[in-house]
Amino acid sequence: MRLKVTPRAGRNRIERLAPEADGGVALKVSVTAAPEDGKANAAVIKLLAAEWDVPKSTISVVLGAADRRKLVQLAGDPAALGRRLEDWLARHLAEPAGARGRD
């Protein structure tokens, strides 16, 4: 999954899907952690794991470790993960932007 990450935000939250220049979409994620020593990446993984109800160990940043644009990979059964993410996106997109988040 593609992410657009904003470090040093006011609170940890998953805001919305954002269009990408290539026609794809990215999930916009804000975290309070600074982009130093992997702290922001760790905060992103922690937030995603909590929101998606998966172990942190199943999420890894595969591209963009030092960039705001990231590609994260989820380990596990692709079909089950796909259903879980589709359900989460359907619930999340039904809420107002910025409504979900964990501090």
CA distance readout (Å), 1 to 25, 37, 103? 9, 22, 22
* Structure confidence by residue, pLDDT tens digits, 63-75: 999 999 999 999 9
Residue 100 lies in a domain: no
Name residue, tokens 């990215």. 26
Read off the pLDDT of residues 2-57 as tens digits, 9 standing for 90 and up: 999 999 999 999 987 777 788 777 889 999 999 999 999 999 999 999 998 889 99
Q: Which of 78, 72, 16 is nearest to 44 (CA)?
A: 72
Question: Considering its fold, how many domains does the chain have in total?
Answer: 1
CATH number of the domain at 73, please.
3.30.1200.10
Residue 64 domain-assigned (yes or no): yes
Domain annotation covers residue 103: no
Can you give the residue range of the structural domain that contains 67? Answer: 2-93
Task: Give the relative orientation of helices 78-93 and 39-52 as an angle to the nearest 10 degrees.
Answer: 90
The stretch 58-64 carries a mean pLDDT of 95
